[in-house]
Each structure stands twice: as structure tokens, then as C-alpha cells.
Amino acid sequence: MGKWCVVKCNCFEPEPDLPSAKARNTDCSHKGIFLELWPGDLIGLGYGIEDAFGKASGFEFFTKIGDWQQYEDEYLKLSPEDAQLWELEIEQLKRYLSGEESMGWHERRKWDEYFATHPPLYSTINEILEDGLNLIRASQKMSRPIEFFW
Ligand SMILES: [Zn+2]
């Protein structure tokens, strides 16, 4: 199975994947899935962040998403609370990338080098950050975790 990322909808209580779950709304138009996407470029961004800023950089969730060792049986879950903290990382990165805040000379050089040799496959970095924000908004709206499958 390829990498995948999903936020389930909350039309089911208490958990959509429990056999005893009953649909609150029997015609859930989401088919249980509120938002899903391929997280390959998000994971790649995690690698780049770790390369430029190091592991203890404050980008805890980005480096987690990009580190398969943080996955349990190829599965990683960010709670809605985690998602809120991840959003702060995205906002920080946006300030760096817009030049509103300086990421540091050393980090900038490593960043440029990394993404010159490992460009994202399908999206620009800004589009990848939008994917992240969409996942976070979905998680908040549904009160559901963001689930990553490696
Ligand atoms: Zn639904």
C-alpha cells in the first residue's frame, strides 16, 4: 500500500471503524472519509526540515511525519490537539519562506541545497503547506485525528 493520509468524518459515533458503530446520519455523503490525500510531499518536506534545522528544531510534528521510525506498524496519528501545534509549525515555516523572519544563514543554505536536489514531486512548497492546513482544518472541524499510513 502506498502512503496515505486521512481525516475521517464524524457522522458515526463513537468510532466509524468499530463493528458496533451506528451511523448517526445514515446517508453520510463522505462514505466515512472527510478528507484524504497522498502525503508523500508532506513527508518529503519533513525530511528537508530535519536536514535544514536538525532534529531538535521545534518542528516536532514535521519531523515526526517524515520519520518512518515514529510510525507504529506504518501508522501515525495526530490528535486534533497535535494538529493545532502542527499548525504553529506551518505558520513559522511560512514566516521563514516569505522572508518575514530570517531562518538563519546556515539553515537557509541547507534548505536551498536540500530542495534543489530533492524537489517535491507534485506540488510547490506552498501547496504542500496548504495540504497540511487543509488536514488540520478537517481534523478541527470533525474532531478527528489526522491519520498517516506509511
Ligand atoms: Zn460523513
> How many CB atoms within 10 Å of residue 14?
9
d(CA 29, ligand 1 centre) in Å: 6
> For the chain, what is the largest distance between any 2 Cα atoms, rounded to a whole number of angstroms?
55
Residue 12, classed as helix, strand or coil, is: strand
d(CA 31, ligand 1 centre) in Å: 6
Distance CA 58, CA 92 (A): 10
Across-strand partners of 23?
12
Residues of the chain with pLDDT under 70: 1, 13-27
d(CA 11, ligand 1 centre) in Å: 4
d(CA 140, ligand 1 centre) in Å: 15
If one counts the domains in the chain, the total is: 1
Q: How far apart are the first and last CA of the chain?
A: 8
d(CA 17, ligand 1 centre) in Å: 13
Question: What digits encode the pLDDT tens for the residues 122-141?
Answer: 999 999 999 999 999 999 99
pTM of the shown model: 0.89
Are 65 and 42 contacting, i.e. CB atoms less than 8 angstroms apart?
A: yes
State the residue range of the domain holding 20: 4-149
Q: Which three cell numbers stand for residue 13?
A: 459515533
Question: What digits encode the pLDDT tens for the residues 40-62?
Answer: 999 999 999 999 998 878 899 99
SS3 content of the chain, % helix, strand, coil (to 5): 50, 15, 35
Angle of helix 80-98 relative to helix 125-142, nearest 10 degrees? 150
